[in-house]
Structure formats: structure tokens, C-alpha cells
């Protein structure tokens, strides 16, 4: 009789144990999920910590690019940092870039509402400062009317003319190679004229035109005022309510942009009203579609300003680096010129159609762009909703920064990354497709990525190719012993490209002068 409970206990024990184990398992799983969920909402990627309120602002150095890169080496390919109230995440790996900024482009394509750069200077417009949404789409579509493949290709003769003007002026100035010249201001005016042609259908006649200085001042001032982590009042909102020097400076820059580029639009409007002819260009298109697209003055003024700010120092700095690099690498220069002689010959100038056959020239361009990105940290993208990635929480409003410095100096991808070596690109295919390839295979990231990728790529590609291939075709560029090139200065991301170098530009053959004279200038 007494054995019955014992028997049932014995038979019941495994059953009870099973139930207990199941409950415990459920509890464990539930707790883990709850913990994970909590972690998802709080666990940011690792990164350096700063002070309350100011974050890392007091610890940022003048060479921000190298500092950001050194933290990437310490904290990994996705790390976070706070400057004031703004959370930044730095992305240094092409696959993470693809996952976040391309695959999830609908989430990571906005911009921060930055007090000085976006609100004060650009009035939250000009494409580059606009939040992701219908207004940005509209402005980008309007910009594309002159930047799309067909329009840029149709206008290529204007770029060719500018390249010829630059060659002719350098020949005259250097007295056919007898004296040293500083080509850098000519590279600047070349970019400026290309942007003026596409935006206003006009150009400057000489580097001494005061407009050249003005345009470059505006561009430089924009860079000086709008560093991505430079201004404390961008990050500590209370400072936006007290008068401060940077606000006055950015406000003055905004007024100058409206006065200068907005003034050119107004001139064109007056001409149109008087029935005078105006050239085909972005400003004309914007004036024509103003009512239909619901654009106000500021929309138009900031859109044309964005062109003159975005397309000036960017292409110019690549061409300036080219001059310095060719002089210190005469062997590379010679190899490109041999290629030009065999593909193009000496009786005509290189044209866009030659690009795919000029593999070494293309490799030089890609290598300059890899080593000398004009915007190493690009323009940050902002997220417009919370997101969880690889267990890390990325809250809405995070600013995502592309660390192209790390990606373009990755020793696995580019052995001896600090050596200038066009040869590393000889195996990769021709030119334009390099920019559009899948993200992991891209030659470089200088134009950014995803939905905010630079809309001026094709124009910039054409400008850079025509300037560089024609310069190589026309001149042997030589160092002048009295004025050695400081190539280190070009590799230091904290310094702008030196505006002054003196080199000899010797025409490569007798026909150069005749052909340039005969070409449209």
C-alpha cells in the first residue's frame, strides 16, 4: 500500500523534471530576448567617450580626418562618438557602408539639421542641405536636367574649349617652356569656368578677373565655416540663442551667396523679361520652371550656389594634385605620354572617346583620387528612423560619416597604400563604370554613396579626364630646382592643396601650339 505513492513519484519525477526544465528554458529564452531587446535599444557601437554636454568636442584635433581614422583602428569599422548632443557613427568598411547607406538607403539618406551649415548658410536648401523627402527629390531632379548623362555629353565641347584655354594660357605664360609657371590658379579657373558654363552659360576670360577670386573666396569660406564637427553651436543648442562670431560669419556668407549667385539669376531674369536671348543653362531652366515647380527665390539662389560650391575646389584640387604628382614622378608621366602617343598620336588632342583605350591615364586619375580625396569624410548622412544593425542600436537622427580615408588606405585592398602607384589600377576596367560598380568593387568613394551620391560625377569625370589627358598630351612637366615640390603637403589631409607651385611646362612637340591654336578657344 505504501509503495503506491513511491511508484507514482518515481514515474512522475521525469515528467515533473521535464516540465521544470521546459519552464526554465522558456524563462531563460524570454529573459535573453528581453535583454537583447533592451540591449538593441541601448547598445551603441563602441567608441571614445567624452564629457557631459560637450561630448568629444574639446578633444577634437585640427587633423580631424586622421583622428577619426585612428579611432577606427581602435574601435572597429562601425564606431560611435558624441559631439555635444549629436551622435555620430563612423563607417570604415565597404560592406557596412553598403548595408546601411545603400541597401537601407530609405533610412540613411537624410541630412542633419545643422545650425550653421544647413540652416544659416544654405537655408536648408541647395540639395546638399535638404532633408530627404519630396523637396530634396525635386531639387535633385532639377539639377539633373543639366547633370544627366545626355546633357553632360552634349556639352562636352564646352569642357574641351576650357581645357584648350588652360593649355594655351600656360604655354604663353611659360613662354613655351622657357620659364617656370604656377599652374594652380589655371586649374582653379578651369573648374570655375566649367561650373559657370553649366550654371549660367558664361565664363571668365582671365585668372585676373575679380570674379575668380570672389568665387574661390566663397568656396573656401564655405569649407571654413562648415566643417562637420567644427562649430560648437551646431551641437549645443543653447549657444544658438546667444550672439556668436561664427553665426555672423555664416550669415554674411549666406548674404554673399545670394548677392553673387542670386544676383546672376536676377540679371538673367531681367534679360528674359526684356526678351533678350539667354544661354541654355541651369539658371535658365530654373527661371522657366519656377511657377510650375513652386520654387521661390531662395530655392533658386541656393541651388545655383550649390553647384558653384560643390563643383569648384573639388575638381580643381584633383587637377592641382595631378600637376604636383607628375613633376615628382617623371617615370609615370613618361609612361602616360607613351600611351597617348600610341593611342591618340600627335596630330590631334585626346577626346572622351579615347578614355577607355587610355588605360594608364585612367589609372593615374583613379590613383590621384584614391590618394587625394577632396572630401575625406564626405557629407554625413542622417538616419530618419531607429535601426538595429549587427546588434547595435542606431537611433533616428544619427549622423553617419563615411571614413573614405580608411577605405582608400586599406592595405589589404591597396598594398603599400601610401605609395602613389597607378599600376594598381591597371587590371580594373575603364573609367566611368568604375564609379558605378557594386560597392565592394568601387575604385574609390570620393563621390559618396547611396541616394545622396554626388550628382556631378559625370561632369567631374569628364572635366578631370579632359584636363589631365590634354595636359599630358601637351606638356612635359618638370621640377624647377629653385622651387622643389613639397609633395608631403599634398598628402596631409589637414592642409588644402598648395595654391603655389612653380614648374616648367615644356610643349612636347612642335605641333602642340598649332593644334591648340586651331582648336576652338
Residues that bind ligand HEM in the complex, under the rule CB under 6 A = 127-128, 140, 143, 147, 306-307, 310-311, 314-315, 318, 374-375, 378-379, 381, 446-449, 452-456, 459-460
Helices (H) and strands (E) in the chain, counts: 20, 8
Closer residue to ligand HEM, CB minimum distance, 138 or 335: 138
CA–CA separation, 262 and 316 (whole Å):
23
CB 250 within 8 A of CB 225: yes
Q: How far is CA 287 from CA 280, 354, 362, 418, in A?
A: 11, 37, 38, 47
Q: Are strands 399-402 and 86-91 parallel, antiparallel or unpaired?
A: parallel
The DSSP result for 194-231, as a single string, is: HHHHHHHS---SSTTSHHHHHHHHHHHHHHHH--TTT-
Closer residue to ligand HEM, CB minimum distance, 312 or 512: 312
Closer residue to ligand HEM, CB minimum distance, 375 or 425: 375
User: Min. distance of Cβ 94 from ligand HEM in angstroms?
Assistant: 14
Closer residue to ligand HEM, CB minimum distance, 247 or 307: 307
User: Min. distance of Cβ 53 from ligand HEM in angstroms?
Assistant: 28
Residue 166's contacts (CB-CB under 8 Å, 6 or more residues apart) are 186, 187, 189, 190, 467, 471
User: Min. distance of Cβ 313 from ligand HEM in angstroms?
Assistant: 9
Closer residue to ligand HEM, CB minimum distance, 306 or 344: 306
Residue 110's contacts (CB-CB under 8 Å, 6 or more residues apart) are 131, 132, 133, 381, 382, 383, 384
User: Min. distance of Cβ 460 from ligand HEM in angstroms?
Assistant: 4
Residue 31's contacts (CB-CB under 8 Å, 6 or more residues apart) are none
* Gyration radius from the chain CA atoms: 28
Place of cell 528674359: 272
Closer residue to ligand HEM, CB minimum distance, 299 or 479: 299
User: Min. distance of Cβ 370 from ligand HEM in angstroms?
Assistant: 12
CA–CA separation, 121 and 114 (whole Å):
10
* 454 is known to lie in a ligand binding site: yes
CA–CA separation, 141 and 144 (whole Å):
5
Closer residue to ligand HEM, CB minimum distance, 163 or 236: 163
User: Min. distance of Cβ 401 from ligand HEM in angstroms?
Assistant: 10
User: Min. distance of Cβ 379 from ligand HEM in angstroms?
Assistant: 4
Q: Which of 257, 239, 217 is nearest to 129 (CA)?
A: 257
CB 91 within 8 A of CB 401: yes
CA–CA separation, 120 and 256 (whole Å):
12
CB 56 within 8 A of CB 390: no
CB 313 within 8 A of CB 219: yes
Strands (E), 95-206: none
What secondary structure letter does DSSP report for 45? P
Q: How many residues does the structure list for the chain?
A: 521
Closer residue to ligand HEM, CB minimum distance, 118 or 182: 118
Angle, CA of 480, 486 and 490, to the nearest 5°: 130
Which residue ranges are tagged as binding site for heme? 454
Amino acid at each position: 500500500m505504501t509503495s503506491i505513492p513511491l511508484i507514482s513519484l518515481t514515474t512522475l519525477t521525469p515528467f515533473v523534471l521535464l516540465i521544470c526544465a521546459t519552464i526554465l528554458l522558456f524563462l531563460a529564452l524570454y529573459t535573453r530576448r528581453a535583454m537583447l531587446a533592451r540591449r538593441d535599444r541601448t547598445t551603441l557601437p563602441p567608441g571614445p567617450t567624452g564629457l557631459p554636454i560637450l561630448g568629444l568636442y574639446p578633444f577634437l584635433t585640427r587633423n580631424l580626418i586622421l583622428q577619426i581614422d585612428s579611432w577606427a583602428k581602435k574601435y572597429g569599422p562601425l564606431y560611435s562618438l558624441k559631439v555635444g548632443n549629436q551622435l555620430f557613427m563612423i563607417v570604415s568598411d565597404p560592406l557596412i557602408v553598403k548595408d546601411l547607406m545603400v541597401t537601407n538607403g530609405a533610412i540613411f539618406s537624410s541630412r542633419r539639421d545643422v545650425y550653421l551649415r544647413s540652416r544659416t548658410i544654405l537655408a536648408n536648401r541647395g540639395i546638399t542641405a535638404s532633408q530627404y523627402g519630396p523637396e530634396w527629390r525635386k531639387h535633385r531632379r532639377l539639377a539633373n536636367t543639366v547633370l544627366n548623362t545626355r546633357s553632360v555629353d552634349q556639352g562636352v565641347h564646352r569642357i574641351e574649349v576650357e581645357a584648350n584655354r588652360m593649355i594655351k594660357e600656360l604655354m604663353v605664360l611659360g613662354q613655351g617652356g622657357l620659364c617656370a609657371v604656377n599652374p594652380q590658379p589655371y586649374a582653379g579657373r578651369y573648374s570655375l569656368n566649367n561650373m559657370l558654363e553649366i550654371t549660367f552659360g558664361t565664363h571668365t576670360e582671365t585668372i585676373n578677373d575679380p570674379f575668380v577670386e570672389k568665387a574661390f573666396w566663397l568656396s573656401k569660406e564655405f569649407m571654413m565655416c562648415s566643417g562637420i564637427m567644427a562649430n560648437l553651436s551646431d551641437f549645443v543648442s543653447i549657444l544658438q540663442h546667444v550672439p556668436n562670431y561664427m553665426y555672423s560669419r555664416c550669415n554674411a556668407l549666406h548674404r554673399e551667396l545670394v548677392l553673387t549667385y542670386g544676383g546672376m539669376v536676377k540679371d538673367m531674369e531681367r534679360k528674359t523679361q526684356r526678351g533678350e536671348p539667354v544661354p541654355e543653362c541651369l539658371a535658365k531652366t530654373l527661371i522657366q520652371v519656377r511657377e510650375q515647380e513652386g520654387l521661390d527665390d531662395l530655392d533658386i539662389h541656393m541651388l545655383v550656389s550649390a553647384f558653384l560650391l560643390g563643383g569648384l575646389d573639388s575638381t580643381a584640387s584633383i587637377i592641382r594634385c595631378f600637376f604636383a604628382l607628375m613633376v615628382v614622378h617623371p617615370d609615370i608621366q613618361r609612361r602616360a605620354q607613351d600611351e597617348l602617343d600610341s593611342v591618340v598620336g600627335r596630330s590631334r588632342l585626346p577626346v572622351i572617346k579615347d578614355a577607355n583605350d587610355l588605360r594608364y591615364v585612367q589609372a593615374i586619375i583613379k590613383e590621384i583620387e584614391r590618394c587625394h580625396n577632396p572630401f575625406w569624410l564626405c557629407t554625413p548622412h542622417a538616419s530618419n528612423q531607429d535601426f538595429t544593425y549587427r546588434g547595435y542600436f542606431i537611433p533616428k537622427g544619427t549622423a553617419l560619416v563615411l571614413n573614405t580615408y580608411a577605405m582608400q588606405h586599406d592595405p589589404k585592398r591597396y598594398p603599400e597604400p601610401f605609395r602613389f602607384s597607378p599600376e594598381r589600377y591597371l587590371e580594373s576596367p575603364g573609367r566611368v563604370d568604375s564609379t558605378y560598380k557594386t560597392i565592394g568593387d568601387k575604385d574609390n568613394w570620393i563621390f559618396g554613396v547611396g541616394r545622396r551620391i554626388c550628382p556631378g560625377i559625370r561632369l567631374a569625370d569628364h572635366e578631370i579626364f579632359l584636363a589631365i589627358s590634354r595636359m599630358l598630351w601637351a606638356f612635359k612637366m618638370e621640377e624647377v630646382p629653385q622651387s622643389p615640390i613639397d609633395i608631403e603637403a599634398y598628402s596631409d589631409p589637414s592642409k588644402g592643396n598648395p595654391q603655389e607651385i612653380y614648374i616648367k611646362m615644356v610643349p612636347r612637340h612642335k605641333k602642340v601650339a598649332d593644334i591648340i591654336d586651331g582648336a576652338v578657344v
